[in-house]
Amino acid sequence: MLIKEKREMKYEKKQNKEQDILIAAEEEFLTKGYDGARTTSIAQRAGVTHAMLHYYFRTKEQLFNRVVEQKFGMVAMTMASVIADLSLPIVERIVHGARAHFDIAAKDPKLPAFMIHEILSNPERSTMIREKVKWITLNVHQNLQAQLDMAANRGEIRKIDAAELLLDIISLNVFSVLIYPFISQIADGFLPNYEDFKVKRKAEIADTIRRKLLIQ
Amino acid sequence: MLIKEKREMKYEKKQNKEQDILIAAEEEFLTKGYDGARTTSIAQRAGVTHAMLHYYFRTKEQLFNRVVEQKFGMVAMTMASVIADLSLPIVERIVHGARAHFDIAAKDPKLPAFMIHEILSNPERSTMIREKVKWITLNVHQNLQAQLDMAANRGEIRKIDAAELLLDIISLNVFSVLIYPFISQIADGFLPNYEDFKVKRKAEIADTIRRKLLIQ
DNA sequence: ATTATCTATAGATCTATAGATAATGC
DNA sequence: ATTATCTATAGATCTATAGATAATGC
């Protein structure tokens, strides 16, 4: 019993340091990008010496890959939970999904900018990001198109392309949370705080999507 | 006369080298970001020795600022041309503006990602970007809100917040062109080429915006 | 005489590793 | 005996500059 406890403690302790580094690395990579990130800063953030980072992950690039893997694994899981209650009417189902997606985007406003910048600045290095994103979206798209077609045939909504609708939802949600830091600096003063902004924006987007679905 | 010509030639020649470096720098900075950009690569792209770059611009950061200044100056000018014909009905005027904005965004798909990444990764360095963007948007916003209010009072459209509408247009347009490289890799095969994609997407966005403005 | 260009190199910064030392669990 | 941690430093890379040389215009 005592032995088991000790083992767990050791395991946890190792986990902690490694996890500390991963957390620090995520923060550093997501704000500064791969090129701007410094392994020394990451070590400092994590409260370990610089050598430890190489002990656990060997290279900056391997650490980067681990961060990406972990991060997008999380996102994929959260995305899966978006699939709304099938008993809802189609319009409500989609609007509900759009709102859920807004919340996911709002939880991680730095992720899209990071993603886009990495793929743009170094396509070879970011193969993993592309694969992860591909995996996430393909499922959603096929599922959504089937639902839309059925509902359109029943005359509940107008005929609509799932790819376009998805692009609309993703664009509106992601971009909104993405550029809030700008807006707040540009429109200083006459802009509500982030919480109020989000509530209003989410409602506005939901309404925009609803209007898209309606038959004229 | 001959002297003048020679002077101009010299001037042009100087302009050329300097301009060559600026063009090369823009390409490098916009794809790789400040941190990923290499002054050596820029010199190579421009076909000059590395020292020349420092001769003309002293530091990497000053070169970066010149690029930003030039680039956003161009964008500001193009934006100013968006203001649509005031004789058009309000809905057509806005939809026309949205389409024009789509074209601007499509002409420079790397710019938004660059902008966002730079401001996120190094806010101090990118003060100039923020100032330029602020200057561009403030005018547009005030002008648009006035037009919307007048039209709403005349019962031509529903009452709508200019900031929300602007955000919708910018989000949809910018994000669409921004992530095309992804989409083409994710949905390989069953996606049209860029030109077809743009035409369809632009029409879809215009329709989305139109539906937003209509009274129910 | 001034401006433009090149070569060579200093100096700073960053990643990565070697090798020593401490902690842990058998 | 193995795993974790630290110190010190090598080696690579990148920006910036000094100083020499060539081109240009008066």
Closest CA to A166 of B172, B99, B177, B102: B172
Total structural domains within chain B: 2
Domain termination residue (choose one: B58, B76, B100): B58
**Which pLDDT does position A27 carry in this prediction?**
96
pLDDT per 10-residue tile (average), chain B, 216 residues: 34 68 96 96 95 95 95 86 82 95 93 91 87 82 92 96 94 92 71 86 97 90
Q: What is the pLDDT along chain A (216 residues), one digit of tens a residue?
A: 333 333 333 334 455 889 999 999 999 999 999 999 999 999 999 999 999 999 999 999 999 999 999 998 888 888 877 777 788 999 999 999 999 999 999 999 999 889 989 988 998 888 888 888 888 888 788 889 999 999 999 999 999 999 999 999 999 999 999 888 777 777 665 667 888 999 999 999 999 999 999 987
Q: Supply the CATH number for residue A143's domain.
A: 1.10.357.10
**Which pLDDT does position B4 carry in this prediction?**
34
Nearest Cα of chain B lies from the Cα of A29 at a distance, in angstroms, of 10
- Identify which of B116, B183, B211 has the shortest CB distance to residue A179: B116
Domain termination residue (choose one: A10, A40, A58): A58
**Which pLDDT does position A11 carry in this prediction?**
37
* Whether B38 and B90 share a structural domain: no
* Whether A67 and A122 share a structural domain: yes
Which residues of chain B have a CB within 8 Å of the CB of A182?
116, 119, 130, 133
**Which pLDDT does position A6 carry in this prediction?**
35
* Whether B204 and B109 share a structural domain: yes
* Whether B117 and B169 share a structural domain: yes
Structure tokens at A25: 């690395």
A100: enclosing H helix or E strand: helix A90-107
Rounded to whole angstroms, the Cα distance separating A184 from A196 reads 12
Domain termination residue (choose one: A58, A78, A94): A58
Nearest Cα of chain A lies from the Cα of B3 at a distance, in angstroms, of 47
* Whether A141 and A79 share a structural domain: yes
Domain of residue A67: give its range: 59-213
* Whether B101 and B87 share a structural domain: yes
- Identify which of A113, A116, A172 has the shortest CB distance to residue B172: A172
- Identify which of A137, A168, A186 has the shortest CB distance to residue B186: A137
Q: Supply the CATH number for residue A32's domain.
A: 1.10.10.60
* Whether A24 and A70 share a structural domain: no
Contact B113 A110 (CB under 8 A): no
* Whether B100 and B119 share a structural domain: yes
* Whether B3 and B90 share a structural domain: no
Rounded to whole angstroms, the Cα distance separating B16 from A116 reads 33
Closest nt to residue B15, judged CA to C1': C4
The torsion of the CA quartet B1, B2, B3, B4, rounded to 10 degrees, works out to: 50
DSSP B37: -
* Whether B193 and B112 share a structural domain: yes
Rounded to whole angstroms, the Cα distance separating A208 from A95 reads 9
Interface probe for A, chosen from B117, B137, B142 (most Cβ of A below 10 Å), is B117
* Whether A99 and A183 share a structural domain: yes
* Whether A82 and A183 share a structural domain: yes
**Which pLDDT does position B192 carry in this prediction?**
74
Judge contact between A162 and A168, C-beta under 8 A: no
